[in-house]
Each structure stands twice: as structure tokens, then as C-alpha cells.
């Protein structure tokens, strides 16, 4: 019992850090699990699932709680709100946990956190919900925006924006895909290790590895506990990277000896992929804004063993005269709303706003205006984001093509989760004309 109580304490702590204090979910979970490395695989999996599941389903969970509580969710104390949310997630989506245990542990947790006077309230709300879960009524097809928002826990403004562009059917497919449990995608360098040898190595480490049909350098991994603890990871045989993101280096198609600049490169997956494709020639300069991000890249570069790539701290908004006309390939994977990766970062759906989205679209234009000067005549510029918002994607591409006629658009693609493989991702390839 002590173990179960400890797990729920940690779940509460993580949810408070994320929903009250504004910490990113992947960082809060990583820090928490790193501190408590003594926990076994089952405990770590339980904590991860409840925290991520609560965030993924939070709009639906709040909708349920508000039907059974006189005090609405947004009026509750943060501790009580997080206890109820994580408990409702367990009641509805985790059959392996008895309802009575969920309710009892929630009541105890409220008491331990100094809310003894609210133990009865917590108990009453949760037991009422547990008895009536199958009778809850959801919004119907008469209001598709509200229905998709509640059933798939997406903000109303996001659903409305997407339906205007993609239609109700595609939006529902994307929303459902965000909630699916998926294996981790990684990329390896076939020049360093064959796919067969890596799959066998991972098998010996207790990891299930499956080849990705359309990408000969990619694997799906599942069944692991602590990725960073695997010898295969420590030795740098692969990098964590989404299937959609891997397309950037494929589209860039570097040639031996190319000079490449990646202006917003952290944590370095695309830059390392490009360096691998250079096969020991040329050079990749992986840039980003902060020492922390440069440190992440340096760590990944060191694991990769590559010597034709360096990490540099530089603000992409500030012109770099020394880089003008230097790049055969310029990668601009720019800061974006991130709404294509909600399956991996569920809290982004609550952090992002329409106003912030508009500011990011402006920031992308500001950066593109600066970095386009670094591309040689005949060179390539790859613009990409991990979102599915037209303002940040197609509209910026059309703006760039119209503002800088020395570049011609070669091709572009908007990848949609649940429709194409991988995350939601946008990519556009430009070529600078030889003679302007």
C-alpha cells in the first residue's frame, strides 16, 4: 500500500507542476522519474500513464466532473482539482485499478495534503461518478465542434480552426490519433550499424524493435523502461526522432561536401541526420538560442560520434554577415505552435492560444527574412514546422515565395496525424536561383 500511495503522491506533484506552475509535461515527468530511479518498471509506467492520460483527456474529465460537482473545476483548489482529474482518468480508462481503491486513495491523498475538511467532498464526487460513468451524456452531432472538443479533449478554438480548413471527418481522425498509444520512433545510421544488427542488439536488451517500411533507417521501439539506460542508446546507435521529422533530411538530399546550416536545431535530430548523410564530408552547423539547447545538441552529437557537425549558440533573428551565401542547404525548422505533436506533448493543447499562434507566425517570417541570405545561388532552403496551422505553414510559404522571388518553391507537404504516418508536420523545399 505504501508503494501505491507514493505513486499517487508523485502523480499529484507532476500534475501540479504542469497545470499550476506551467512546467512542460515531458520535463516534469522526466525530472520526477530521474529523481525516483529506485522505482520499478510497473510503477514508472503507472505514473507516466496516469499523468499523460489525465492531460490527454483533461477537457473530457472536467466535463464529467462538472456534471457531478456543485463546485466547478475552475473554482477548485489546485490540489483538489488535480486529485479529482487523475482519479476520474483512472475510473474511466484504467480497468486494472478497482474503483474503490481509486476513491479511497484520493480521499487519503486529500487529507495528507492538508485538506481534511474536503475529504467528504472528494469521496462524494468520485463515488457518484464511479456509479454513473456509463450514463454520462456527451454533446451530439448537432454541435460538431463541441462534440469533438469534449470527446477528444481539444480546445474549442483549435477544433473550429481545423474544421474550417480540413473538414469535420479529417479533424476527428486527427483528434483520435493524438489519443492512441504509439511506439517510439528512432533513426539509425546504416553506415554505422545495419538494421538487422541493431534490431538484434535491442532484442537482447529486452526491447521490441520493428522496421519502418518506407524509411530504411528508422525503427519503432516498444517494451523498454528507461531508454537512456540502454547500452545501445548510450553508444549512440540511434537518435529519437519522429517519422515526419526525418523527412527534412530526405527532402534536403545533401551531397558530399555540402555546407549546411540548421538555424533552430535543438535537440539536433535533423542536423545529425544531415551530417550522417554527408558520410564524413562537408559540415553541419547546428545553431540555437540558449546554452541549454546547445548543451542538448552537444550531448547528442557526442553520442553520435560524428565529427562533421558542431553546435553553436546564435539567435536566428540576428543577421550573421559571415554566413551570407555560405550554405548549400539551410534548414529552418522554426518555433511553432506545436499542435501537430499533441500525442507526445499533451499539455501543449492548453498552453497555446490563437494570439500566441499569430505571434509565432510573425516570428517565423522574421527569422526567414534573416536566414534566407545564407543560402548560396543554387542552394536549398527547407522550411518546416511541427504544426498543422495554415498561417504558420502554407501562408508563410506563399509569403516567402512572393517576398523573395530569387527562391522558387520546389514542393511542399502538410502531413496530418492519423492520415499520414507520424506526427502532424509541415515541410516546404525552396531552391535559390543560380542567376537572380
Catalytic residues: 386
Coil, strand or helix at 237: coil
157, 150 contact by CB (below 8 A): no
CA 338, distance to chain mean position in Å, is 7
User: Which has the closest alpha carbon to 93: 124, 123, 53, 65?
Assistant: 53
Alpha carbons 327 and 378: distance in angstroms, whole number: 10
Backbone angles phi, psi at 387, to 5 degrees: -135, 175
252, 274 contact by CB (below 8 A): yes
Backbone angles phi, psi at 176, to 5 degrees: -65, -35
Coil, strand or helix at 259: strand
Beta strand 425-432 with 407-415 is antiparallel
Alpha carbons 3 and 247: distance in angstroms, whole number: 43
Q: Reply yes or no: is the peptide bond before residue 136 cis, omega within 30 of 0.
A: no
Alpha carbons 297 and 294: distance in angstroms, whole number: 5
- Which letter, b or e, does each residue of 285-314 get, where b requires 16 or more Cβ atoms within 10 Å of its Cβ? bbbbbeeebbebbeebbebbebeebbbeeb
**Which residues have a Cβ under 8 Å from the Cβ of 434 and sit 6 or more positions away?**
377, 378
Alpha carbons 4 and 294: distance in angstroms, whole number: 39
Backbone angles phi, psi at 316, to 5 degrees: -65, -15
**Which residues have a Cβ under 8 Å from the Cβ of 36 and sit 6 or more positions away?**
10
The dihedral sign for the CA sequence 32, 38, 42, 43: negative
Q: Where are the beta strands (DSSP E) in 49-191?
A: 184-188
DSSP structural state of residue 261: E
Give 3-state DSSP helix, strand, coil % of the chain, rounded to 5: 50, 15, 35
82, 110 contact by CB (below 8 A): no
Alpha carbons 78 and 35: distance in angstroms, whole number: 23
Amino acid at each position: 500500500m505504501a508503494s501505491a500511495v507514493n505513486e499517487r503522491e508523485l502523480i499529484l506533484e507532476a500534475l501540479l507542476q504542469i497545470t499550476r506552475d506551467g512546467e512542460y509535461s515531458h520535463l516534469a515527468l522526466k525530472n520526477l522519474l530521474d529523481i525516483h530511479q529506485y522505482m520499478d518498471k510497473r510503477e514508472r509506467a503507472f505514473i507516466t500513464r496516469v499523468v499523460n492520460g489525465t492531460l490527454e483527456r483533461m477537457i473530457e474529465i472536467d466535463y464529467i466532473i462538472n456534471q457531478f460537482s456543485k463546485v466547478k473545476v475552475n473554482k477548485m483548489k489546485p490540489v483538489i482539482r488535480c486529485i479529482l482529474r487523475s482519479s476520474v482518468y483512472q475510473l474511466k480508462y484504467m480497468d486494472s485499478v478497482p474503483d474503490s481503491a481509486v476513491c479511497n486513495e484520493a480521499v487519503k491523498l486529500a487529507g495528507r495534503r492538508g485538506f481534511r475538511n474536503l475529504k467528504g467532498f472528494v469521496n462524494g464526487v468520485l463515488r457518484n461518478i464511479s456509479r454513473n460513468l456509463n450514463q454520462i451524456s456527451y454533446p451530439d452531432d448537432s454541435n460538431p465542434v463541441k462534440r469533438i472538443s469534449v470527446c477528444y479533449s481539444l480546445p474549442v478554438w483549435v477544433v473550429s480552426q481545423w474544421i474550417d480548413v480540413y473538414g469535420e471527418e479529417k479533424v476527428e481522425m486527427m483528434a483520435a490519433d493524438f489519443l492512441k498509444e504509439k511506439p517510439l520512433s528512432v533513426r539509425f545510421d546504416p553506415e554505422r550499424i545495419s538494421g538487422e544488427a541493431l534490431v538484434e542488439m535491442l532484442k537482447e536488451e529486452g526491447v521490441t524493435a520493428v522496421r519502418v517500411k518506407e524509411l530504411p533507417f528508422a525503427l519503432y521501439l516498444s517494451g523498454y523502461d528507461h531508454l537512456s539506460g540502454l547500452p545501445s542508446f548510450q553508444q549512440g546507435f540511434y537518435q529519437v526522432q519522429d517519422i515526419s521529422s526525418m523527412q527534412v533530411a530526405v527532402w534536403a538530399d545533401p551531397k558530399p561536401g555540402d555546407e549546411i546550416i540548421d538555424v533552430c536545431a535543438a535537440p539536433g535530430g535533423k542536423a545529425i541526420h544531415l551530417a550522417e548523410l554527408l558520410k564524413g564530408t562537408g559540415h553541419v552547423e547546428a545553431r540555437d538560442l540558449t546554452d541549454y539547447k546547445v548543451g542538448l545538441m552537444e550531448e547528442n552529437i557526442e553520442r553520435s560520434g560524428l565529427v562533421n557537425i558542431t553546435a553553436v549558440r546564435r539567435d536566428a533573428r540576428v543577421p550573421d554577415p559571415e554566413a551570407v551565401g555560405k550554405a548549400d542547404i539551410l534548414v529552418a525548422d522554426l518555433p511553432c505552435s506545436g499542435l501537430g505533436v499533441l500525442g507526445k506533448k499533451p499539455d501543449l493543447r492548453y498552453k497555446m492560444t490563437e494570439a500566441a499562434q499569430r505571434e509565432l507566425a510573425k516570428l517565423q517570417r522574421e527569422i526567414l527574412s534573416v536566414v534566407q541570405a545564407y543560402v548560396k545561388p543554387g542552394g536549398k532552403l527547407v522550411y518546416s514546422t511541427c504544426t498543422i496551422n495554415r498561417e504558420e505553414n502554407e501562408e508563410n510559404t506563399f509569403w516567402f515565395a512572393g517576398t523573395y522571388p530569387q527562391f522558387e518553391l520546389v514542393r511542399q507537404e502538410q502531413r496530418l496525424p492519423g492520415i499520414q504516418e507520424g506526427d502532424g508536420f509541415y515541410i516546404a523545399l525552396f531552391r535559390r536561383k543560380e542567376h537572380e
